[in-house]
Amino acid sequence: MPFSIQASAKGNPSLVRFEDVALRYGTGPEILKHISLQFDPGSYHFLVGASGAGKSSLLRMMYLAQHPSAGRVTLFGRDVTELSRPETALLRRRIGVVFQDFRLLDHLTARENVALPLQISGQAHGRSDKDVEELLTWVGLADHMDALPPTLSGGQQQRVAIARAVIGRPNLLLADEPTGNLDDRMAVRLLYLFEELNKIGTTVVIATHNESLVDRFPHPVTRLSVGAIAPSGEMAKTPAAGPGANPATAKSAAAVAGRESP
Amino acid sequence: MRRRRQAVPLDRDATGRYLPLLVAIMVYLAALALAGAMVASKLADRWDSGLSGALTVQLPAAGPAATEGGEGDPVAQQVVALLRDTPGVTAVERLDTRDIAALLEPWLGDAGLTADLPLPGLIAVTVDADQPPDLNALRRAVLAVAPGSLVDDHQRWLGHLLDLTWAIEAMAIVVVALVVLAAAIMVAFVTRMGLAAHEQAIEVLHLIGAQDSYVARQFQSHALSLGLRGGLIGLLCALPTLYLGRHLLQRIDSGLLPEMQLLPIEWSLLVLLPVASALVAMMTARITVLRTLARMP
Ligand SMILES: Nc1ncnc2c1ncn2[C@@H]1O[C@H](COP(=O)(O)OP(=O)(O)O)[C@@H](O)[C@H]1O
Ligand SMILES: [Mg+2]
């Protein structure tokens, strides 16, 4: 907890900041509560928790698909509830999202799906065609560039979704179970891609229920428990130097947070 | 270069098949109404300019002897002189019996006119339209010289005709306005259906950073092409109808009806109808999308 206070005291502009955030869908129960976390520019985070813990819901608030029902979410230094519709659109262009269910447009080819963010932001020129092809080749879809998503396997669709999320070089990359449909070799390859993006400054947040995958990387882990209680991201981040200690620390942080919440 | 496919696949919607047909019917009706209005306005112009600068002085019917040697009628001569001296009168022409007979021929036929039919004496007066003479004073003066005469400025008759043509024009404008309104309502309805049908794709577009105007452009360009297609079909169907109408009007062949030919500018107005229908469809789609999306959270 002191670290989180320290971070904000330093005036470090965090990219993602949740302050005592709660979320409910409609009039349903709060599926997330007392969420406080802070992701700094250039950081790399795992968001883990059992299925139904609320990982996707947390990400939804980060890509502005959902506003918190209580508390405050700040993205790129802006309170999300104060954004106009045009501002929201512009902010979303800086956020790449790999949706859990891919959300590809079925009537567009893999190539067109990947090019869509460029087209939307008005960057679609001759050069971008090459970028799209290179990226698709890199994720192993050189032979499927003109295939429609429904003709692709789950893993192939997932890779198209990943390519679409990163083509615009986002500042923030949010990936919801991005390796769920991939074999281990491809999963590692794509996590390596995220690693590379992180090295050039992209803030990466990966939600996954696959703990064994998380253990292989020395990145801070934020753990959601089914009780929808979140440990603060900063607490998990502290021992990032020692990856082995990571999950344990995060777990204890969760326990602390759990006891503190009323 | 590959053809860029629409981000929202509107061209696959069934509604796309019906909209051009409905727009075609609308444009057909609008074309007929517009053509009707243009002919009516032409009639009004013709009657207006043809008659408003003119007065007719009608002298009581004289006997056959008097009409024969018209020049000899002293009353008529006096009236002509009076009119010539009136300020604001630019021309005075006394019509002789033959002129009057020619005027009446279309109604009575040449056989019906004989010299012994008592005809009123007619004096055609052209007045300066900018500075017309005081009609009441003129009437009094003419009556003093020739009791029982009539100074007719055609206003009553003309007024009724102008009212009629004005009403035809107004009705045509109302028809066109209603047609535009109906077309806009249809396009708005189809656009709403499209927004609902493609809700998921639109959500994805928003989530990857599309502005509402980007989504609107998808619907706009689709509506534009449907509106244009429908408009062209409607116009192509209207042209034979207009041609037939013109043919029937020309057969009337009466001095009362002016040339029924539409001018090139009027034709181009009609040809612009498909452009107008395309633009109306486009703007309606745009406004509908922007307003619907703006209401979303
Ligand atoms: N759109 C929604 N409407 C109502 N409840 C939802 C919705 N999405 C998720 N939930 C509920 O919120 C909880 C968390 O779901 P989710 O965020 O998908 O968890 P996770 O991604 O960790 O599996 C679940 O109980 C789920 O049923
Ligand atoms: Mg999920």
Cα–Cα distance between B205 and B196 in angstroms, integer? 14
Residues B200 and B167 in one domain: yes
B5, part of any domain: no
Q: For residues B266 and B70, give the distance between their C-alpha atoms in angstroms, rounded to a whole number.
A: 47
Parent domain of B66: 61-148
Residue B187 lies in a domain: yes
Most confident residue range from A8-12, A192-196, B157-161: A192-196
B88 and B194 share one domain? no
Tell me if B56 is assigned to some domain: no
Burial environment of residue A62 by CB neighbours within 10 A (0 to 12, 13 to 18, 19 or more): buried
Residue B283 CA to residue B285 CA, distance in Å, equals: 5
Asked if residue B179 and residue B105 are part of one domain, the reply reads no
What string of DSSP letters covers A75-127? ETTEEGGG--HHHHHHHHTTEEEE-TT----TTS-HHHHHHHHHHHTT--SHH
With cut-offs at 50, 70 and 90, classify the pLDDT of residue A10: very low
Contacts of A132 in chain B (CB under 8 A): none
Side by side, the strands of the sheet bearing A203-208 are: A95-98, A172-176, A203-208, A44-48, A221-223
Question: What backbone torsions phi and psi does residue B46 show, to the nearest 5 degrees?
Answer: -60, -50
Nearest-neighbour CA in chain A from B1: distance (Å): 10
φ/ψ of residue A44, rounded to 5: -135, 120
A-chain CB neighbours of B293 within 8 Å are 85
Instruction: Give the Å distance between the CA of A6 and the centre of ligand 2.
Output: 31
User: B87 and B231 in one domain?
Assistant: no
B23 or B5: whose pLDDT is higher?
A: B23
* CA B83/CA B94 separation, integer angstroms: 11
> Count of domains in chain B?
2
Under the banding of pLDDT at 50, 70 and 90, the label for residue B52 is: low
Q: Looking at residues A78-88, what average pLDDT do you find? A: 94
pLDDT per residue as tens digits for the range A92-108:
999 999 999 999 999 99
CB atoms within 10 A of CB B187: 27
Confidence of residue B15 (pLDDT cuts 50, 70, 90): confident
Show the tokens assigned to A154: 């789950």
Min Cα–Cα distance to chain A from B5, Å: 7
Query: For residue B3, which residues of chain A lie inside 8 Å, CB to CB?
Result: none
Among A131-135, A231-235, B12-16, B183-187, the minimum mean pLDDT is found in A231-235
- What is the percent of chain B with per-residue pLDDT over 90, rounded to a whole number? 35
Q: Is this prediction's ipTM beyond 0.90? A: no
Q: How confident is the model at residue A80 (pLDDT cuts 50, 70, 90)?
A: very high
Atom of ligand 1 nearest to the CA of A60: 17
Nearest-CA residue for atom 24 of ligand 1: A52
Q: How far is the CA of A12 from the centre of ligand 1 (A)?
A: 32
Last residue of a domain, one of B148, B179, B197: B148
Ligand 1, atom 18: nearest CA belongs to which residue?
A: A56
The CA distance from B192 to the nearest CA of chain A, in Å, is 20
User: In 3D, which of A141, A189, A192, A198 has the Cα closest to residue A164?
Assistant: A141
Q: What is the model's pLDDT at position A247?
A: 38
B233 lies in some domain:
yes
Last residue in a domain, options B90, B121, B148: B148
- Identify whether residues B111 and B251 lie together within a single domain: no
Q: Which fold has domain A1-94+171-181+201-262?
A: Rossmann fold (3.40.50)
Interface test with A, best of B208, B212, B213, B292 (most A CBs within 10 A): B208
Q: Are the beta carbons of B212 and A85 separated by less than 8 Å?
A: yes
* CB pair distance less than 8 Å for A120 and B210: yes
Least confident of A126-130, A257-261, B41-45: A257-261
If asked whether residues B22 and B167 sit together in one domain, one would say yes
How large a percentage of chain B has pLDDT more than 70? 82
CA distance A211 to chain B (A): 28
Question: Residue A52 CA: which ligand is closest?
Answer: 1
Ligand in nearest proximity to the CA of A60: 1
**pLDDT at residue B294 is higher than 60:** yes
Q: In whole numbers, what is the pLDDT of chain B averaged over residues? A: 82
Q: Are residues B272 and B178 in the same domain?
A: yes
pLDDT, average across residues B117-129: 76
State if pTM tops 0.80.
no
Q: Tell me, yes or no, whether B165 and B121 share the same domain.
A: no
- Residue, of B121 and B20, whose pLDDT is higher: B20
Q: Are B144 and B198 found together in one domain? A: no
Q: Which residues line ligand 1 (CB under 6 A)?
A: A 25, 28, 31, 49, 51-57
* Cα A93 to Cα A198: distance, rounded to the nearest angstrom: 17
B7 contacts in A (CB within 8 Å)? 105, 108, 116, 119-120
Residue B2 in domain: no
* Residues B88 and B121 reside in one and the same domain: yes
| Cα distance between residue B61 and residue A100, in whole Å | 102
Q: In angstroms, what is the span from residue A14 Cα to ligand 2's centroid? A: 24
The pLDDT, as a whole number, for residue B66 is: 46
d(CA A175, CA A181): 13
Reported confidence tier of residue B116, pLDDT bands at 50, 70, 90: low
Tokens of B291: 């307003």
Chain A residues 139-198 within an 8 A CB cutoff of chain B = 164, 168
The residue with greater pLDDT, B135 or A227, is B135
Let me know whether B33 and B173 are in one domain.
Answer: yes
Mutate to test the interface with B, among A63, A116, A174 (most CBs of B within 10 A): A116
- Reported confidence tier of residue A23, pLDDT bands at 50, 70, 90: very high
Asked if A92's CB is within 8 angstroms of B294's CB, the reply is no
A161-171 pLDDT, tens digit each: 999 999 999 99
Shortest-distance Cα residue to atom 1 of ligand 1: A25
**Residue where a domain stops, chosen among B115, B148, B181:** B148
> Considering only CB atoms, which chain A residues are within 8 Å of B10?
none
**Interchain CB distance below 8 Å, B204 and A103:** yes
| One-letter amino acid of B136 | N
- Min mean pLDDT across A66-80, B198-212, B217-231, B238-252 is at B238-252
Could you say which ligand is closest to the alpha carbon of residue A31?
1
Mutate to test the pocket of ligand 1, among A56, A100, A210 (most ligand atoms within 8 A of CB): A56
Touching check for A12 and chain B: CB below 8 Å? no
CB contact under 8 A, A89 and B206: yes
The answer to whether position B213 is within a domain reads yes
A182 — pLDDT class (breaks 50, 70, 90) = confident
By the 8 A CB rule, do A110 and A141 touch? Answer: yes
Structural domain includes residue B4: no
Q: Do the domain assignments include residue B41?
A: yes
Closest ligand to Cα A223: 1
Q: What is the mean pLDDT of chain A?
A: 82
Q: Do residue B189 and residue B268 come from a single domain?
A: yes
